[in-house]
Structure 1
Amino acid sequence: MLRPIRIELYGEYVLARMDISQQALLDFLDSEDDDKEVMPELTPQHPKLTQFTQDEIESFEFIYKKDMKALHGKGIDPSY
């Protein structure tokens, strides 16, 4: 069953997700390990995602990826 989401909560997720992505990229660039996983796991245990449940994270991540694909076009892989 689909649950309606609160726009404000999704907005908070997007801001947290953008911070996580930015930090992961900076960590990758600072690292000398080319095989390092760029993106950490998105779970409630992540310090920036503690306010979300795992179900919310999964729902928001699905929407986030669709939004990024719509924003950047079909040629971009939104799985980052």
Structure 2
Amino acid sequence: MRARACIKCREYVLIRPDDPGNMTLISKFEKNHRGHTLITLNFEEIKGTYKKFLTEEEKKASEEKGEKEES
């Protein structure tokens, strides 16, 4: 599986060519990391060293879930 990665932020997004929703996510990733060095590579090369890119909505949901688990 291929991934698009930002070297500066050490974040990645998986590439799924047949998924239109994934293409939107890749666009958001590239917009968020504009001006950074982006590379396309095999996911295995960054697995465990880079973190998955989360949209603002996913970050908020993750934070809310964490708060509920702490309560």
Same fold (TM over 0.5): no
Higher relative contact order (CA 8 A, sep 6+): 2
Per residue, is there more helix in 1 or in 2?
1
Structure 2 length-normalised TM:
0.27
Per residue, is there more strand in 1 or in 2?
2
